[in-house]
Chain A
Amino acid sequence: MSGKPSLSNGVLLDAADVSKSVQGPEGRLDILGGVSLQVREGESFAIVGASGSGKTTLLGLLAGLDVPSSGRIVLDGHPLHAMDEEARADLRRRLVGFVFQSFHLLPALTAEENVMLPLELEGRDDARSRAREALEAVELATRRRHYPAQLSGGEQQRVAIARAFVHRPRLLFADEPTGNLDQRTGHHISDLMFALNQDHRTTLVLVTHDPKLAARCARQVELDNGRVVTSARLAETLLETRA
């Protein structure tokens, strides 16, 4: 898909010594400090931490929604930290999908039209048929003409997932995807997300404070006060859990 080759040893996303500060009313505020991590193609990766630990900021930087104050982030060989917003938008359109905690569906659009959006932005002619397929995949084919307000929270998130996968991104960012859902629905949604992730061989970067959801990922980092405090492989996490 990308014109550029992937990084060596299959690393799709590489962040090195990333910091982010903002100017607050009481002077400079450091949100992130010296974060480094690598995400390989096809793996699932969780960012965990308490509220205010900097998870969402890190996700925004990794997805190219914002730029770091210092450090570098390379996505599929593209230096996000050195690109302007336009170039990053271009990259997102081609490579990235998103699932948000609040779903962020456009209220005036039907489920199907919401799913069509990324394809429309690419200017594809088969947007409608592919959107239907994507809705079938999340078992919402019969609700395609419904507006978000007519759908339950779980259904809205399924539409959002269909939208995230419809243009077959190589990398999916999910920000607390089950945060607004009850446990059962949340579980169902995460099953769906991981299943699609497997089917499409998509790389998944997930922000959550739910340890069970994080545990389903192959790797995870924990943030505290803007810094990485632990970085663990799934096997290690499982060992720790058993111990």
Chain B
Amino acid sequence: MKLLRLSLRSLRREWHLPELRTLGASLVLAVVALGVVATLSTRMERGVLASAAELIGGDLGISSPQALPAEYTSQAARQGLRTSRSASFPSVAFTHGQSQLLDVLATDNAYPLRGTLELDDGREGSVIGHGPAPGTAYLDHRALVALGIRLGDTVQLGGRDLRITAELVRQPDGGELVAMAPRALMNVADAEQAGLLGTGSRARHRLLAAGEPAAVQAWRDWLQAQALPQGAELITPEQTQERMRSAFDRASAFLRLTALLSALLAGVAIALAAQRYARRKTNEVALLRALGTPRRQVLGLLVGTLTLLAVPAVLVGGAVALGLAQLTWHVASQLFATVPTDLPLGPAIAAAAMGLAVLAGFTLPPLARLAEVPPVAVFRESATRRVRRFDALYLVPALVALLLIWSQSGSARLAGVLAVSLLGVAVVAGLLSALLLWTARRVAPGAHPALRLGLAALARRRGMSLVQATALSLGLVALLLLAIVAPALLEGWRRELPSDTPNWFVLNLQDDQRAGFEQALAGMGGQKLNMLPLAVGKLTAINGHPIDQLHFQEERAKDWSDRQLRLSWAGALPPSNQVIAGQWHGEHPAQAEVSIDTMWRDMFALKVGDVMSFNVGEGNIDARVGSIRQVDWTSFQVNFFLVFDPAHASTLPHTWIASFYLPRGHTQALAQLSRDYGNLSLIDVDAMLDRVREIVDQVSGAVRWVLGFSLLAGALVLAAALAASAQERRHEAALLRTLGARRSQLRAAAACEFALLGLVAGLTAAFGAAGTGLWLGHAIFHIEHFVPPLGALLLAALGAAAVVMLLGLAGTRKVSRTSPMRLLREG
């Protein structure tokens, strides 16, 4: 209690000290940066799932070629879940003598449980609706055009006349590449009565459920414990939208990177300020010790003062973080319209804890050393200095920084890249400044007077100069990464989705239709056609062990071993694929080979040389895992988890899948194409592309927000670094003025000193940021051909050197005006 009172008094008296204010401000900034980003990331994570749920129309579903047992529905109801039953099938629609094969979805009125069904009922633009009432149907624009009918007309589906009450604009379609176009929505009761869902139909039945996450999980567990009907598979948000998921993963990696760098910047500022605070307190501590205060109490007082400073700072930081996260979320709310709006408090609390850890880690070494100041230091200042070749305490901030990187980066890889890069920058900056100081000693005597004084000043404060240059380099590298490299990476990402990214997928193309389709597409102006064979099969065994007898740690493994898999083959490695283990099989390997994606490697614990057995149609194929690929799922190219060699797989029953780019506004031509090739499924991914582009834009926006904090943190580092030597500088200036130094001499010397310091820091930071950016681009964000903008970085480095010089000069203005009388007054 006494200690608390003493600490409070000490804080009140010392609050005016700039280093304490820097400590406080840095801490607030660190917590704000970490808190905003963590809150946004958590919400974004929820957003990903909610968004995927929107796309499948529910939180979880099951689809099966047979009607699903009623028990599934009643079990869901017992869990308190809402359910929707539907079935999809191809069916030919007739009207006025016209006919068109449609992809029909027969639903109940509850559809969709998640997401929105957008309709145009011909009155006032699009409206949000539910599944059609019995006796009615919704048709999409292409279906209406193909059949030559309008709203209010009647269409015959499965022998029943249905009135078209609305045009189908957009529906949650599961993002599954099985949808046939054009589309129609009818009531499931009508479909049943028309016998469209009976035995022998080609219908795929779906049961979707939505509700509380715990209830959904309970239903999921229950379903997984059941013996699912033949061919049935779960529809989960996690499995859908791989591309969207990758986009979100990248987005949160970006955000985490920026937050992390801001927090590290704040850490550097904290470390510098703590160092300075400790130096200022040395005499006071020596006096306290001389007056008989035990070391423990001295340390307690110091820790108490900082704690009293830290607690309000992290509270303010946490509150500001929540407020800003809420504001940012509000701005970006159109992205995830249906995400729960409650504000997650956990991330802000974690950020506050992290801020305290940063403060503790970065201030501990100077404070612990401070408590060691011997009482005799009141008589002899030199007694405060202890010569230590290696001070293990100074590993603490490095460890805290590593922990911070580890916990915030979300991936060991990102953590590694950042940790190694920053360490490299620190070492290079240290070495370069040591070299500068060494040169300074040698060059100074023959140099221009201003340069000589500047160099002498740098050399005089050897230790401080090293600390300043290293801190400035670290601060600048973080700033350059944020301000120049991150936007360049984002731009690289955006360039990966150029305006002519394939926006259509076509399924079900037969061998004999390929040439005609290609020609027809070229006639419409379609480009970038990429065609691959597609077979559908199931995984039956691994290394001869039947798959249903194997147990895997990953839950997903069971889902994937139950489902129908899409298989393909190719002689050449597809674009946006990279072999990371084994060798690509080529055209004619001696035995059947399959190349697997890393997700499969992880899911089934596979390695090169394992043998996988598949059942495809009537036949089986055993293939050796020849290579493991890293697939860029964001590329919007047709990609497969499993790719066989063509020599052994081309005889498997297959169709073709293709992607192509078709400029918007070709609805009529596509409807014709769809009529000419009735069996084709054409899938429009424009909406998905738009969404990913939207995500890139939103992330850019969010990164800009965080960048704001980082710039502040950077300014604090700069201020702290320059302030670190201000006191010495002032005393020195007073002495030099007394000895007759001109103000211009002091200014020129300071300009030289800071310009050199800025140049060392700026150049180290520019090359450090370029190297780190290159590494991040390739290893973390997988942006092909990413080249960091070296020109801009170098310019920024020179700019930074100039800013350091100007700020240094501005700080020195006061110093050079120090009255020489100060010395006489000091005695």
Number of interface residues of B (CB under 8 A): 32
Task: Check B827 for interface membership: any CB of A closer than 8 A.
Answer: yes
A49 → chain B closest CB, angstroms: 15
Complex contacts, B98 vs chain A, CB 8 Å: none
A104 touches B823 (CB 8 A): yes
Nearest A-chain residue to B459, judged by Cβ: A108
Complex contacts, B824 vs chain A, CB 8 Å: 56, 59-60, 65, 100, 175
Complex contacts, B820 vs chain A, CB 8 Å: 60, 65-66, 89
B382 touches A121 (CB 8 A): no
Q: Which of the segments B82-90, B145-153, B260-268, B738-746 contacts the partner chain? A: B738-746
Task: Check B732 for interface membership: any CB of A closer than 8 A.
Answer: yes
Q: Which of A71-88 contact B (CB under 8 A)?
A: 85-86
B740 touches A121 (CB 8 A): yes
A101 touches B827 (CB 8 A): yes
Complex contacts, A123 vs chain B, CB 8 Å: 449
Complex contacts, A120 vs chain B, CB 8 Å: 449, 452-453, 456
Task: Check A149 for interface membership: any CB of B closer than 8 A.
Answer: yes
Most A CB within 10 A of own CB, among B381, B452, B741, B824: B824
A65 touches B460 (CB 8 A): no
A89 touches B825 (CB 8 A): no
A85/B743 contact (C-beta < 8 A), A65-B820, A104-B823 known: yes
Most A CB within 10 A of own CB, among B735, B743, B744, B826: B735
Most A CB within 10 A of own CB, among B452, B742, B826: B742
Task: Check A118 for interface membership: any CB of B closer than 8 A.
Answer: yes
Cross-interface CB contact of B382 among A86, A101, A149, A180, cutoff 8 Å: A149
Cross-interface CB contact of B740 among A56, A60, A92, cutoff 8 Å: A92
Task: Check B737 for interface membership: any CB of A closer than 8 A.
Answer: yes
Task: Check A102 for interface membership: any CB of B closer than 8 A.
Answer: yes
Nearest A-chain residue to B381, judged by Cβ: A149
Complex contacts, A59 vs chain B, CB 8 Å: 824
In the docked arrangement, what's the CA distance between A121 and B460, Å?
15
A102 touches B827 (CB 8 A): yes
A119 → chain B closest CB, angstroms: 10
Q: Which of B692-735 contact A (CB under 8 A)?
A: 728, 732, 735
Task: Check A96 for interface membership: any CB of B closer than 8 A.
Answer: yes
Cross-interface CB contact of A108 among B449, B452, B460, B745, cutoff 8 Å: B460
A89/B737 contact (C-beta < 8 A), A60-B821, A100-B824, A104-B823 known: yes
Interface residues on A, range: 35 or more
Complex contacts, B460 vs chain A, CB 8 Å: 106, 108-109, 113
A121/B745 contact (C-beta < 8 A), A65-B820, A92-B739 known: yes
Task: Check A150 for interface membership: any CB of B closer than 8 A.
Answer: yes
- A interface footprint on B794-820 (CB within 8 Å = 1, 0 otherwise): 000000000000000000000000011
B743 touches A100 (CB 8 A): no
A25 → chain B closest CB, angstroms: 17
B738 touches A98 (CB 8 A): yes
Complex contacts, A93 vs chain B, CB 8 Å: 739-742
Task: Check A117 for interface membership: any CB of B closer than 8 A.
Answer: yes
B349 → chain A closest CB, angstroms: 45
Task: Check A217 for interface membership: any CB of B closer than 8 A.
Answer: no
Task: Check B385 for interface membership: any CB of A closer than 8 A.
Answer: yes
Cross-interface CB contact of B743 among A63, A86, A180, cutoff 8 Å: A86
Q: Which residues of A contact B (CB under 8 A)?
A: 56, 59-60, 63, 65-66, 85-86, 89-94, 96, 98, 100-102, 104, 106-109, 113, 117-118, 120-121, 123, 125, 127-128, 149-150, 175-176, 179-180
